[in-house]
């Protein structure tokens, strides 16, 4: 097994007055040549948008974009005609493909919205743009990992144009679960959303990121009540 560790306090930070963001990988004005990506995982931003503010309409292309609200309500509009609000417990995916414009605004004027913005490099270029959104309430289980994203429309959850699988686990103190990679040539980037955990005996806490590869499976134990996001992605991209 090989690993890379990104402690929460080592992330890039940007405060724009209306947006407070932490970057696990190089993004915008934060550039770290040692943290450009983890394989196909190109962006992992931990965003906090202040009341009534947000990202105006802006373009994307040839990227798979996943938004996961952690608190509050995020209003989405795009050039495909989609208008939606995503809330805690929802997951949104957008294949930018040949090109799309979208905006993301804090729908509320009395509280912040906090969400993860994740970009995955696709395995197909110039696909038709698409949008999807689901609630995790119908598929969530307690104290074990459950899959909510994959490469297949037939699998549980949403799908994207990449051989990637995302899972989420919410654990009570002292409980554990193991994860077996779908493809041993992939790696897994683990992001501790809340709480304190041990991974193969090593301790990690809130907003730490850990990349693992050259392994078949691993185990996570919740030292305290914890929430953990797993992102299994290809390490070597194919043109």
- Average pLDDT for 118-125: 97
Picking from 135, 170, 186, the residue at the C-terminal end of a domain is 135
Tokens for 47? 């965003």
Tell me what the pLDDT averaged over the chain comes to: 96
In a domain, 25, yes or no: yes
Q: Are residues 186 and 152 in the same domain?
A: yes
Specify the number of domains making up the chain.
2
Q: Are residues 116 and 158 in the same domain?
A: no
- Average pLDDT for 192-207: 96
Those residues with Cβ within 8 angstroms of residue 13's Cβ, 6 or more apart along the chain or in another chain: 20, 21, 22, 23, 30
Q: What CATH number does the domain containing 39 carry? A: 2.60.120.10
Per-residue pLDDT band for 106 (boundaries 50, 70, 90) equals very high
Q: Are residues 71 and 180 in the same domain?
A: no
Q: How far apart are the first and last CA of the chain?
A: 26
Q: Are residues 143 and 129 in the same domain?
A: no
Complete edge-to-edge strand list for the sheet that includes strand 165-171: 2-6, 209-213, 186-194, 226-234, 165-171, 146-150, 158-159
238 has a pLDDT exceeding 60 = no
In a domain, 6, yes or no: no
Q: Report pLDDT digits (tens) over 13-62.
A: 999 999 999 999 999 999 999 999 999 999 999 999 999 999 999 999 99
Contact 237, 121 (CB under 8 A): yes
239 has a pLDDT exceeding 50 = no
What pLDDT sits at residue 237? 64
Q: Which domain holds residue 31?
A: 12-135
């Amino acid at each position: 097994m090989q690993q890379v560790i990104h402690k929460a306090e080592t992330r890039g930070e940007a405060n724009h007055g209306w947006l407070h963001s932490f970057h696990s990988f190089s993004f915008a004005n934060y550039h770290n040549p040692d943290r450009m990506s983890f394989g196909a995982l190109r962006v992992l931003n931990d965003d906090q948008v202040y009341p009534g503010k947000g990202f105006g309409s802006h373009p994307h292309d040839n990227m798979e974009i996943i938004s996961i609200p952690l608190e509050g309500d995020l209003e989405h509009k795009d050039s495909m005609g989609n208008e939606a609000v995503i809330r805690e417990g929802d997951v949104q995916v957008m294949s930018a493909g040949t090109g799309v414009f979208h905006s993301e605004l804090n729908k509320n004027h009395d509280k912040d919205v906090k969400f993860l913005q994740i970009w995955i490099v696709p395995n197909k270029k110039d696909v038709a743009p698409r949008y999807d959104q689901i609630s995790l309430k119908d598929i969530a289980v307690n104290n074990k990992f459950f899959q909510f994203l994959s490469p297949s429309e037939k699998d549980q959850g949403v799908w994207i144009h990449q051989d990637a699988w995302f899972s989420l686990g919410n654990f009570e103190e002292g409980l554990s679960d193991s994860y077996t990679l779908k493809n041993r040539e992939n790696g897994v980037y683990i992001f501790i959303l809340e709480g304190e955990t041990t991974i193969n005996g090593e301790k990690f806490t809130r907003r730490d990121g850990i990349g693992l590869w050259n392994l078949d499976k691993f185990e996570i134990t919740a030292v305290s009540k914890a929430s953990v996001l797993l992102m299994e992605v290809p390490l070597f991209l194919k043109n």
